[in-house]
Amino acid sequence: MEQIRAVLDADEIIEPSDPQYGKESQVWAAHKNLHPRLVARPKSIRSLSALLKTLNDTDIEFNVRGGGCGSASSRGVLISMSAFDDFSFNREEETVTVGAGQLWRHVDQSVEKHAPGYSVVGPRCTYVGVGGGTLQGGLSWMSSEYGLACDPGNMLDAQIVLMDGTVLWASTDPDLLWALRGGGGRFGAVTAFKLKAHKYPQKVYSGYIMYPREALDELAEKVSRFAKENTDPKVAMHFYCLDMVQGAFVGKPSVPGLGILAYDAHGEEHGRNLFRWALEVPGAIDTTKGLSYREVNELSDGLEAIRGETNQMMTAVVIPEITEDLIKRTWTWFDQTLIREPKLNAGTFVLIEIMQKEAFNSVKSRSDTGWPRADGRHVLQLGTGALNASCTKEVYDLAVQSLADGAKAICDNYSVENCLPRDWEEFHDAIQMFGENVPKLREVRKRVDPKDKLRGAYDL
């Protein structure tokens, strides 16, 4: 550890007693916090390069933290990337260059201020990290039109520091850039991304429409029909369950309700007409309105309050279609999970993300990017979770098994290879998920990290 201290400035070292330690080491899922002995927060590429080069020659355990929804931690050194927070806009090229240590809220704010009239393909929640959110795919409200954040048309380049201290833009190493596009961050520490900025509407119709649980049958029929008939790439929708009283946090049983998050980039007038079927369902509570793209992404900011407070497990499966029966099977899974273990009322949810097939098919073949695209159009996301204090090993094991069993029971043809490469539970087999790209990913990793020092959520 003294070797680590020797290559960093004093203000780049955060001890457990430091007031900044909690902020710079906090994880999303509480059970994954390994309480690092030291947090290193390099403030320059020079410091990061020296740090990785030193770690490459020691046996010290370390990990790299982007600060978003991931749960990267370490028993030894945790490298916080939060100091890499630059932003620049090139109007002639229509590109932005952003520091990889930021949260997406910072990018949304900077784009709105410095690149008016443009938007960038990025996650739909502002508390997602730029690094993890991009390297692990990057689903966006814009994806049905422009693909994933990591696609060649969006992630144009990435600056990366390798384990031997080498600093380069990945475009000078095409195989490395290929691996970074969906292959995750186990190839080095990415410090910046060069992203395509797209001209995009500045007023979007969006917001929540909430319903009592009794509306499920009607909504199951109408949502499945909307998913089938809607072919507009500027229109999307989330259909989800919610706890009307956040029972786990106020000591009360869950009261499950239903919600739709509507999205129409054509504007409020068009959106209200398109989503009239949803607004007219009995019991609907309408909070939709015209919003900026940044404001749409901020709609879910309230969920950030649970960061580090719950043991949260998730899986997300790309599915070809949404049927009425699939929706009902999904909600049956939700109900049965909470009946079986009421302690899971702090993080159990279902979310059906309605998109266009182009979101996963903006590349020509499965071998064009590190992650071979799943065959489908929409996303079924399942979550289980409990307050940290009440999540015993038995509760945790049941929660993870419930996810695996639920995905199989809900989907007509479930396969781990169709799971998004961002949620890593015990049943997420990386070999299946990356399929025919595994040999090339292994080859790239061996070349850029020959001592196999970089750790991550998965292993090939």
Distance CA 308, CA 105 (A): 19
Any idea which residue has 């039109």 for tokens? 145
Summarize pLDDT for 416-442 with one digit per residue, the tens: 999 999 888 989 999 999 999 999 999
In this structure, what token pair is assigned to residue 229? Answer: 């008939």
Residue 239 sits in the same domain as residue 341: yes
Distance CA 255, CA 241 (A): 10
Last residue of a domain, which of 178, 200, 222?
Answer: 200
Distance CA 107, CA 87 (A): 8
Summarize pLDDT for 284-311 with one digit per residue, the tens: 999 999 999 999 999 998 888 888 889 9
Q: Which helix (H) or strand (E) holds 175?
A: helix 174-183
- Point out the residues of the chain with pLDDT beneath 70: 243-255
**Helices 324-340 and 393-410: angle between axes, nearest 10 degrees:** 160
Q: Which residues of 12-46 are buried (b: 16+ CB within 10 A; e: fewer)?
A: bbbeeeeeebeebbebbbbbbebebbbbbbbeebe
Q: What is the CATH number of the domain that holds 325?
A: 3.40.462.20
Residue 131 sits in the same domain as residue 211: no
Residue 29 sits in the same domain as residue 147: no
Indicate whether 436 belongs to any domain. Answer: no
Report the first-to-last Cα separation within the chain, whole angstroms.
Answer: 29
Distance CA 356, CA 418 (A): 16
Task: Please state the pTM of the whole predicted model.
Answer: 0.94
Closest Cα to residue 85, out of 26, 46, 44, 51? 44
Q: Which helix (H) or strand (E) holds 220?
A: helix 216-229
Residue 11 sits in the same domain as residue 53: yes
- Sign (positive or negative) of CA dihedral 167, 24, 97, 125: positive
Indicate whether 448 belongs to any domain. Answer: no
Residue 436 C-alpha from the chain's centroid: 24
Last residue of a domain, which of 42, 62, 80?
Answer: 80
Residue 422 sits in the same domain as residue 314: yes
Indicate whether 268 belongs to any domain. Answer: yes
In this structure, what token pair is assigned to residue 355? Answer: 């998109």
Indicate whether 441 belongs to any domain. Answer: no
Residue 194 sits in the same domain as residue 292: no
- Gyration radius from the chain CA atoms: 22
Any idea which residue has 């019991």 for tokens? 283
Q: What is the CATH number of the domain that holds 57?
A: 3.30.43.10
Indicate whether 446 belongs to any domain. Answer: no
State which residues form the domain around 233.
204-431
Indicate whether 458 belongs to any domain. Answer: no
Residue 350 sits in the same domain as residue 397: yes
Residue 170 sits in the same domain as residue 228: no
Distance CA 278, CA 238 (A): 12
In this structure, what token pair is assigned to residue 244? Answer: 């009307």
Q: Which residues contact 202 (CB under 8 A, 6 or more apart)?
A: 116, 117, 292, 293
Last residue of a domain, which of 162, 177, 200?
Answer: 200
Residue 148 sits in the same domain as residue 46: no
Q: Which residues contact 295 (CB under 8 A, 6 or more apart)?
A: 206
Indicate whether 438 belongs to any domain. Answer: no
Indicate whether 345 belongs to any domain. Answer: yes
Residue 238 sits in the same domain as residue 361: yes
Q: How many domains does the chain have?
A: 3
Residue 71 sits in the same domain as residue 154: no
Closest Cα to residue 145, out of 176, 126, 121? 121
Decide: 95 and 86 in contact? Cβ < 8 Å. no
Distance CA 399, CA 81 (A): 31
Q: What is the pLDDT of residue 245?
A: 46
Decide: 135 and 457 in contact? Cβ < 8 Å. no
Q: Angle at Cα 172 formed by Cα 167 and Cα 175, nearest 5°? A: 105
Q: What is the pLDDT of residue 379?
A: 96
Residue 224 sits in the same domain as residue 323: yes
Q: Where are the beta strands (DSSP E) in 341-428?
A: 349-354, 378-387
Q: What is the CATH number of the domain that holds 142?
A: 3.30.465.10
Decide: 162 and 451 in contact? Cβ < 8 Å. no
